[in-house]
Structure 1
Amino acid sequence: MEETISLKDIYQTIRKRMVLIALLAVVAVAIAGVVSYFVLTPVYESSTQILVNQKKSKDVPEYNQVQTNLQMVNTYSVIIKSPAILSKVIDNLNLDTTVEALNNKLTINSEQDTQVLNVTIQDEDPAMAVKLANGVAETFKNEIPSIMKVDNVSVLSKAVLKDNPAPVKPNAKMNMAIALVVGLMAGVGLAFLLEYMDNTLKTEQDIENYLGLPVLGTIPKFNVDDEKKAPANRRKAV
């Protein structure tokens, strides 16, 4: 006969394997916590902001000039991440690294509808992250006039090393929350797998489902000790 699974069966399976599900979830959270706090290297982030204006043209209306500047933001982002800028940052700061490695640590974002660029550096050393962010901003400020017709480059806010910098990676709480969800899902999946592989017959319904035969009678469970005590109880009753 074809067996159907009801919500009651699902609930009973989960309830039956609740200890296993909880154990897997706890283990997953514990592993994620240990890896996040003791295995993965913390990564710190530091940011600075740059304002860039092109030279004004007398023949171009001011509105069009502003729109042109906004459209040039992407160009500035490419220039900042180019070897022309990053190689000079490495030389100025006497860094033992490559342009590619520094580029991987650097992220450039622009504020919406503005000419402000956010220069963000991620590094395993918080002091180095601050040093690199300020170095990139200052180098861009000094080099961009010779690359493009830009007469006004300002560093709006320099990166500052905080007293107790907090790493942005790894996010231990997020990792543990994800591990909890994954652990619960794995536990539920394993519970249903064990239930599926368990082909023992435990109830009258199981016999009817698997054998297709009606149950005429059942033998109740009894305890040997209770059976030994039964004659004595009967004698007392007499």
Structure 2
Amino acid sequence: MEELIDLKRIFGAINRGKWYILGAIGLCVCIMSIYLWFGATPIYQSKTQVLVNQVDSKDSSIQAQDVQANLQLVDTYSAIVTSPRILKEVEKELSNKYSQTELANAIQVSNNSNSQIIEIAAEYTNAKDATAIANKTAQVFERQIPNIMKVDNVTILSEAQYSKTQAPVKPHKSLMLGLSFVVGALIGAMIIFVQTIFDRTIKNVDDLQEALGLTVLGTVNAFEPDQMETEKSFERRKIINEEKNRSEAISRIQ
């Protein structure tokens, strides 16, 4: 049987179970904070840029053709950067400190649309190592291109710079904490939702009318034990006083 839960009941359930939401949020944020500050490995990034430049020519039409040809070669050059031939040479020149697999995972190549600039980024757990990998990759790439493509049209525009105060790019702490907050809120809301769906207890008159389909004509307030004892004591004192007054009245008449 389908059940319709109105907005009033939903907001009432959320209000009653708000501590579940707050508790779930606090737990998720706490766990994420412990992971970010004590468990996660910081990743640093360094970038260098190389230019695929046109061959010098006095003929402007030939110049334009060279530029267009270089633009078309950018994608090819981007693939060459991470090719085994380049990575093997980088590995060798870095004293075999990193394997080709590590270098392939660390190096990222990108370029903007219609741009002759290729950006080589290296990500590693140490900022100094990331800088060394990025710069060495660019240098080897520039030196090997004439042998591979038979044309010397690659120039290093800017080298990666190492800084002791460089901040890690991963993990994104603010993003991860925000995500844990949302996950905690969703978990708390799910707990409240499940409780509301499977809760069959009668909490008020509206629940009684909805469950039985009957109209409630009146209600009897619940009395606490202390309140009931107080009422009984009051009634006894009232009866005793009435009896005493009646006795005094009879005595005066006699």
8 Å CA contact retained: 1:54, 1:150: no
**Map of 2:202 onto structure 1:** 201
**Map of 1:10 onto structure 2:** 10
One-letter identity of the residue aligned with 1:80: V
TM-score after normalising by structure 1: 0.92
Aligned length: 238
- The higher relative CO (CA closer than 8 Å, separation ≥ 6) is in 1
For 2:61 and 2:79, locate their aligned partners in 1 and report how far apart those are by CA, in whole Å.
Answer: 25
> How do 1:119-158 residues align onto structure 2 when only pairs under 5 Å count?
119-158=120-159
Q: Which ranges in structure 1 are unaligned for 5 or more consecutive residues?
A: none
8 Å CA contact retained: 1:41, 1:124: yes
TM-score after normalising by structure 2: 0.86
For 2:2 and 2:76, locate their aligned partners in 1 and report how far apart those are by CA, in whole Å.
Answer: 66
**Map of 2:251 onto structure 1:** none
For 1:67 and 1:99, locate their aligned partners in 2 and report how far apart those are by CA, in whole Å.
Answer: 33
**How big is the shift at 1:110?**
0.9
Query: Percent of pairs identical after alignment?
Result: 35
For 2:105 and 2:173, locate their aligned partners in 1 and report how far apart those are by CA, in whole Å.
Answer: 23
8 Å CA contact retained: 2:55, 2:66: no
8 Å CA contact retained: 2:44, 2:168: yes
Instruction: Deviation per CA, 1:66-114: give whole Å up to 9, x if none.
Output: 1111111101001111011110000011124332321111111113322
Higher-Rg member (1/2): 2
For 1:103 and 1:189, locate their aligned partners in 2 and report how far apart those are by CA, in whole Å.
Answer: 42
> How do 1:1-238 residues align onto structure 2 when only pairs under 5 Å count?
3-55=3-55, 61-233=62-234, 235=237
Q: Which ranges in structure 2 are unaligned for 5 or more consecutive residues?
A: 242-254
One-letter identity of the residue aligned with 2:117: V
8 Å CA contact retained: 2:22, 2:185: yes
Q: Which range moves more in the overlay, 19-28 or 203-212?
A: 203-212
- SS at structure 2 position matched to 1:61: helix
For 1:3 and 1:87, locate their aligned partners in 2 and report how far apart those are by CA, in whole Å.
Answer: 66
8 Å CA contact retained: 1:52, 1:116: yes
8 Å CA contact retained: 1:119, 1:133: yes
For 2:103 and 2:28, locate their aligned partners in 1 and report how far apart those are by CA, in whole Å.
Answer: 35
8 Å CA contact retained: 1:141, 1:153: yes
One-letter identity of the residue aligned with 1:45: Q
**How big is the shift at 1:204?**
2.1
8 Å CA contact retained: 2:54, 2:67: no
